[in-house]
Chain A
Amino acid sequence: MPTASISLRDVGRTFGATRALAGVGLDLKPGVTGLLGPNGAGKTTLLRLLATALPPSQGQVSVLGLDPQVPAERTGIRRQLGYQPQEVGFPRGFTAFAFVDYIALLKEWTEPAARHAEVRRVLGLVGLSHLGAKRIRAMSGGQRRRVALAQALLGSPPVLILDEPTTGVDPEQRVVLRAVLAEIARTSVVVLSTHQTEDVAALCERVIVLDRGRVRYDGPVTDLTAQAAGRVWLADQPDPAASVSWRTGTGRYRNVGTRVRDGVEHVEPSLEDAYLLLRGGAAEDEPAEEVTS
């Protein structure tokens, strides 16, 4: 059984006077870990730290037992890493195949036949086999996201860091990608950030909720969902006692909150309910925390 792992000890990251991450401590093993949090919570910063794209301002990061602060060890990590950033630009004139092939070359796939076979394989995994010869700039947003994911999957890396991999991807492809990631996660550490709680519920064994750069929750998805049991109810009107309410497709209102009145119609909570409950119903993005010391 592989023992691929990542550990963070008291990791912090600041950008000037803004604290993006503070006191983060995590141990990640093979499996899919979902990262939830509002915009500005520090998810992308955390993923960039794990992907060796950014050094921490404090604390220690270890990926597969290697220290990303040491150049030689950082290269060692990168040999075993797949990373899909939130935003990827593509060079002008490149086809999907040419771009993934170029990245494969940078990942040291020097033997052309093996490299081309691998590029075809990962394009197949993301459902782009038939579009390999199409220029990326002529592709839809969802197809571009899948090209970005394809390059991350090259070599089935032991560590796979994905920043909002399913944004803009259609439902059928999302189901396919979930299956691909679940398969890879049998041997690899997969960390994905997303705003799609249904992806986390369907795919992740573990979820981490970030809030103003700090870990607010870290544990099984089922445990987080269970925290909302008895705190989600339906009503004909928005309940003032609820932290958050919204109109559902049936015309009734779904209420989530800790102050539950007697006699309300309870319903089965979802991960989204639990996440909103944890957040206290806050709808705003997180304000960046100022460094005071």
Chain B
Amino acid sequence: MPDSIFNSKRKQPVGRALPDNSNRRVEPALRKTMCSDAGRRGVRLWAAALAAYAFLYLPLLIVIVYSFNDSRLNAEWVGFTWHWYDVLLHDKDMLAAAGNSLFIALVSSLIATILGTMAGIAMHRYKMKALTFMVMTPVAMPEILLGVSLLLFFIQILNLTLGMVSIILAHITFSIGFVAIVVRTSLSGMDESLFEAARDCGASPWETFRHITFPLILPSVVAGGLMAFTLSIDDFVITFFTAGVGVSTLPLRIYSMIKIAVTPEVNAVSTLLMLLTLTIIVLASRIAPNVLQWKT
């Protein structure tokens, strides 16, 4: 998508406003000292940053590598094998859990995207404090609080048997916030004059939405939906409290496997799950590059 005027409204840098850092002209002598200075500092900075990246990726790489390890124990490399993936694909409980996870993620992310988009638009246009509070708090609070309060609510008030429905409702509740933030951020970066122009031309709110707003926010809506999908697939804490018996999801299966009988099958399912969420995140970042940068 071309760099349209709607994305040009950048936030001002702290201090003096400068159009672009990379074009500054510097005196050659000064540049030399700057570069060597920056060079020394740069190396140390690079080293520290590289260490941080290594710290971030090494554990995951180990998980992936050991999923191919021909040994029950995750202790040392014995040999290459596809055995654990084979076990995984024949594990009925795991496949059932995977199916549940996908179904729950699809349904909850769809509903959360719709509700979240509406919330994001309402938060931006009408500045409703109550809505903002209700949307943002589930995102900010520790997940265990939401899980536990939903458990109480489902059992005591709704007398709902915990299962698929309770999980989906719980997932929607925490996903709405993420989608709303994404949509609101994207809207706040847009040029208001567009909407005013549409109104001046006599468009009703619905027409404005359909022809102007929606196409503009579509990338963030899609990205938000993808994020909601990922959040749902990956959720552990809230699902743990609202799942009941009979419906298992992938994270719950992984948890019980970790606690009870750790085998490299866990590595295999982890690798596949990582692949899935990786694909989704990369997709989301292509569709809406600003989504993941927390530009709130």
- A joins B in a complex: no
| Chain B residues packing against A (C-beta within 8 Å) | none
